[in-house]
Structure 1
Amino acid sequence: MAIKMIAIDLDGTLLTSANTISAETLKTLGQVHNQGIKIVLASGRPLSGILDYTKQLGLAGENEYAVVFNGAVVQNLAGKVLMSQEMDYRDFNLMLRLQRLSHVNLHFETTECFWTLDRDLCVQMQINAAFTNNEIKVRDKKEIPQDFVFNKVGFTCPKGSDQIAKLWGTLPDWAFQSYDIVRSLDNCIELNAIGASKGNAVMDLAERLKINQKDVMIFGDQGNDVSMFENPEFLKVAMGNAIEDIKKRADFVTDDNDHNGVAKALKKFVL
């Protein structure tokens, strides 16, 4: 096995708890990239939320890629959309129905910005927008056009609130049958079109680049990474801080994100 592509989750994996790439990890990824291995950030964030980190890694241009919106979109780092799975106005109305199951904020993510009907925004939604360099457009329902399309949905609530747990426990079966839904944090549920996942996006990108799935290495830690760990062909590395569902599916469990877990696994398997 010769690794040719490495897909790395961002928050809780590549990034430390301080939202930085450690010097050791940055150096190690530079060595990997110099060997001609593709480094692909695979994140729930939009492209705007990862570009600062790709620049630090020396990645830019039309021949470098990112998996964003939990796999709903694959773009090159020049911004061109290569693959996209969208939801429409019917889905928009269904999300409003789901929101009524608990007291949570609801926002809709596109490649341009976030949209919400909520006037009172919890801190978590504001943090999500700030971390991803995104504008939040607050609108009335009548201002949302019938041709509205979006790539991802986020339900959020303040930390310490039980409302996300309440929503998660009351989501109807039809929702899980119609959408890909993950609880990415204790106070956040993310939803994509059915089939839109990091695992599928990484697999499709590898095929587009003519890279065998056995030559793909992946890193992750949370529920929105599980789809990558379901692929039996990938070399799967769980972070030491990963949820148990990730660890039990992994080929290897490395150190946590605050102790150079990514760098240590790359030194073991690649360098």
Structure 2
Amino acid sequence: MTYKLIALDVDGTLLNDEHRLTEQTIQTIREVHEAGSHIVLCTGRAPASTVPILQELGLEGTMITHNGAVTVQADERGQALLHEFSFSLDDIQPMLNDVREKGIHFDVCTPFNMYIERLGEYEKAMYKKFLINPKLVTDVSELGMPIVKFTLFSQPEVLDLVEKDWSERKLYGDLRMIRSGELFIDVMSAEANKGNALKALAASWEIDAHEVMAIGNYYNDLEMMAFAGLGIAVDNSPEDVKQAADAVTASNNEEGVHHALVRYCL
């Protein structure tokens, strides 16, 4: 089977736990790309922190970012917005009030920028790890522009309680709340997910779902894995994510993406 479009989650899938690419994985991805497949990074990251990964792979092209809320074309001329699922800051005001009261760190994102109201050393280290330079403002509610993602960052047990509380109270209203990692909760448009973004991109390139491969590791990857003709989970995924996949490859620390591409593409 020739897969014309290969969607790769980044953190926990393409990168190892040190947030690095291995040379073998880089070479394998380039080989698959040179054979004619579109390589699309499909990530919760913003465009600015995804482009360096694309450049390290020696590629340029389309990226699905912010967990499917934003699709961007990146090349030597810069970054161009192709599509976004946005919503109003008014839609998250009850949640903003709640996290401010509880002292939980948060940020809000437009397609190309991230805004925060405070920055401690713990948060600074996290943003540095993900190559993010957020803009510090007094009150994000006064930005006066649509946003594509509202993210909480805290310890797993804190977010477990938030997730339960907000679900019971439906505090997110018509928006969508997902756990994008143990330390993160994302609130986005109900239409925004990696699967919908990947489906739209494949259609624009006249590529059928059975010609798409997607590799991921977490719950925010389920929709793209379900859309793809072949959805693969890396071995470090939660058990129910692995059960939902068509196949399981080695972990992100064991070059799972490399092994999957060799097996199914080369």
**Considering the TM-score relative to the shorter chain, is it more than 0.5?**
yes
Query: Aligned partners of 2:41 and 2:92: how far apart in 1?
Result: 28
Cα contact 2:42–2:64 (8 A) shared by 1: yes
**Correspondence for 2:258:** 263
Question: Is the CA contact (8 Å cut-off) linking 1:239 and 1:255 kept in structure 2?
Answer: yes
- Matched-pair contact (CA < 8 Å) for 1:101–1:170: no
Q: 2:225 aligns with which of 219, 222, 229?
A: 229
Distance 1:56 1:91 in 2: 37
SS of the equivalent of 2:40 reads: strand
Matched, 1:200 2:190: no
Aligned to 1:15: 15
Residue aligning to 2:238? 243
Change over 3 Å in CA distance of 1:87–1:252 after alignment to 2: same
**C-alpha distance 143-66 of structure 1, shift in aligned 2 (>3 A):** closer
Q: Deviations over 1:199-251 (max 9, x none)?
A: 111111111111111100000001211221332x5211100101122101111
CA contact (8 A) 2:116 2:140 kept: no
Identity value in percent: 26
Three-state SS of the structure 2 residue aligned to 1:219 is strand
Q: Is the 8 A contact 1:181 1:192 kept in 2?
A: yes
Cα distance in 1, alignment partners of residues 44 and 125 from structure 2 = 14
1:135 aligned to 133, 136, 141, which one?
Answer: 133
**In 2 relative to 1, CA 247–19 (structure 1 residues): closer, same or farther, beyond 3 Å?**
same
Superposed, 1:79-90 pairs within 5 Å as 79-90=79-90
1:214 aligns with 2:210: yes
> Is the CA contact 2:13–2:257 (under 8 Å) kept in the aligned structure 1?
yes
Q: Which runs of 5+ in 2 are unaligned?
A: none
The one-letter amino acid of 1:237's match is I
Matches within 5 A, 1:153-192: 153-157=150-154, 159=155, 162-173=157-168, 174-175=170-171, 178-192=174-188
Which deviates more from structure 2 when the two are superposed, residues 199-208 or residues 164-173?
164-173
User: Residue 32 in 1 paired to residue 32 in 2?
Assistant: yes
Q: Which has the higher helix share?
A: 2
Once superposed, what is the RMSD of the aligned Cα atoms? 2.0
What is the CA distance between 1:185 and its match in structure 2?
A: 2.3
How many residue pairs were aligned? 262
Q: CA deviation at 1:152?
A: 0.8
Q: 1:159-196: CA deviations, max 9, x gaps? A: 4x632121112113534662222112222111211110
1:120 Cα deviation from its structure 2 partner: 5.2
* More off after superposition, 85-94 vs 206-215: 85-94
1:69 matched residue in structure 2? 66
Amino acid at match of 1:260: E
Partners of 1:47 and 1:189 lie apart in 2 by: 19
Give the secondary structure class of the aligned counterpart of 2:252.
coil
Alignment of 1:105-120 (within 5 A): 105-117=105-117, 119=118
Higher mean Cα deviation, 215-224 or 17-26? 17-26
Q: Does 1:148 align with 2:145?
A: yes
What is the TM-score with the length of structure 2 in the denominator?
Answer: 0.91
Task: Give the aligned residue type for 1:21.
Answer: L
Q: Which residue of 2 aligns with 1:121?
A: 120
- The worse-fitting range, judged by mean Cα deviation, of 83-92 and 37-46 is 83-92
Secondary structure of 1:41 counterpart = strand
Distance 1:14 1:142, change over 3 A: closer
| Deviation for aligned residue 1:139 | 2.3
Q: 1:177 to 1:24 in 2, by over 3 A?
A: same
Asked if the contact 1:229/1:246 (under 8 Å) is kept, the reply is no
